[in-house]
Amino acid sequence: MIAFSKNFYCCYVFIGLTILFGSCQNDVPKTSSTNLEEYTELPPPQDDFEESDFKWGYMDTKGKLVIDAQFDDNRGFKEGMAVVRKRGKWGYIDKSGKEVIPIQYKGAWSFSEGLARVETFDHTTGFINKYGETAFETRVETAWDFKDGRARFRENDQIGFLNEKGEKIIKAQFESASDFKNGLAKAKSMGKYGLIDKSGGWIIKPSYSKINFPSSGLIRVREDGKFGYLDMQGEVIIPIQFDNAQDFNGDLAPAKSEGSYGLIDKEGKFVVQPQFKALWYAGEELWGVHRGQKYNFINKEGELVLAREFEQLYSFKEGIAAYKLGRLWGLVHKSGEIITDPQFGLVWGYQDGLARAAVYGGIAMVNKRGEVVIPPKYLDLRDFSEGLAQVQVYR
């Protein structure tokens, strides 16, 4: 291995991130388009893992390493426990760093609703509780995490759902399906999408080429390349007529007509006329817009929020958004006030009042004033989750 200093590496990280994100096309943040069949791949067999030269641990919100860097890989804390790997085996620790479920699995996933998926080296997949006891084993091709009391499974290339006892409460019958959310799941049958309830019954029959979860009381659908909206009974409330559309947030939704985006109300009428290349909900009752080569935010009246426009904008998290000017990024408040000049190689979203930022020297944590509160003393770090953040230590 080529020897290098920490300062050289951290400088390289900042320059590399700046060049990488400065040269990328200004993609507009989009609504989620996750494939319903997407799932986390199982890790490779134990022998495929190599011991990491730089170990992972966890720091607190003061930047102190509170769980020693001893893991070859790890995940954020969920429900008080975190998945960790040593060589080719996975297990679980608590927030004190104690190994509470032995590092013994071929694959392990974070806890969700009190249960976690695991795979053993004899290729048995099942779910365990927080004591490490087997809740149940599955005899299916693939299983996903529990969401809203149900877990998807695949059997004979069809999707069904398990309950917390491992019973096939909804038999495998769908071509694809999403997790449940607020008692509903998206499902595909005979090439069309609809919504099902937790017993597997159709709430919205499979009639559409695309369907979304209800948002502000309306359900966005696509048919024959056009978008419109249904009510909760499946009646068409806003005609399927738009070239593109997004979910409602409150009383407004972005919609595209004749090549441009505007905002429509719940009657399907444009209250902000189509005039933008792109338009998305950015949080804080504001929408991001792209016109010409620049980005800005608008309010529900269509008024521009920022005094100047930028080369790229991200959505708000905890009332703050990142903007790009030249090759660097800065921070702007939801009021339109510029918090910092462009000075970061990249800024991630805020979590619990802190955001990761690429600075000279590496990755730091900044507060909501853009001040560095945790300097770049770690090789790498992740967002906080339940008060702790994953860090990779240079040694």
The tens digit of pLDDT for each residue in 139-178 reads 888 999 999 999 999 999 999 999 999 999 999 999 999 9
In a domain? residue 324: yes
- Is pLDDT of 105 > 90? yes
Cα distance between residue 233 and residue 236, in whole Å: 9
**What mean pLDDT comes out for the span 7-12?**
48
Count of structural domains, the chain: 1
Q: What is the mean pLDDT of residues 270-284?
A: 98
> What does DSSP assign to residue 179?
P
| Residue 50, pLDDT score | 73
For residue 249, tell me if it sits in a domain. no
pLDDT computed for residue 20 by the predictor:
47
pLDDT (0 to 100) of residue 35: 46
CA distances from 383 to 58, 321, 322, 391 (A): 11, 16, 16, 9
Position 18 confidence tier, pLDDT thresholds 50, 70, 90: low
**For residue 175, is it within any domain?**
no
pLDDT digits over 69-83, tens only? 999 999 999 999 999
pLDDT of residue 14: 55
Token reading at 216: 């502000």
Residue 36 lies in a domain: no
Q: What is the per-residue burial (b if ≥16 Cβ within 10 Å, else e) of 225-239?
A: eebbbbeeeeeebbe
Query: What is the predicted pLDDT for the residue at 394?
Result: 84
Domain assignment of residue 6, given as a range = 1-30+310-395
Instruction: Say if 26 falls within a structural domain.
Output: yes
pLDDT greater than 80 at residue 207: yes
pLDDT at position 45: 53
Specify if 379 maps to a domain.
yes
Average pLDDT of span 351-361 = 95
Determine which of 121-125, 238-242, 333-337 has the lowest per-residue pLDDT on average: 121-125
Within-domain flag for 22: yes
Mean residue pLDDT across the chain? 90
In the sheet that 380-385 helps form, which strands lie side by side, from edge to edge?
65-71, 56-59, 388-392, 380-385
Look at residue 352 and tell me if it is in a domain: yes
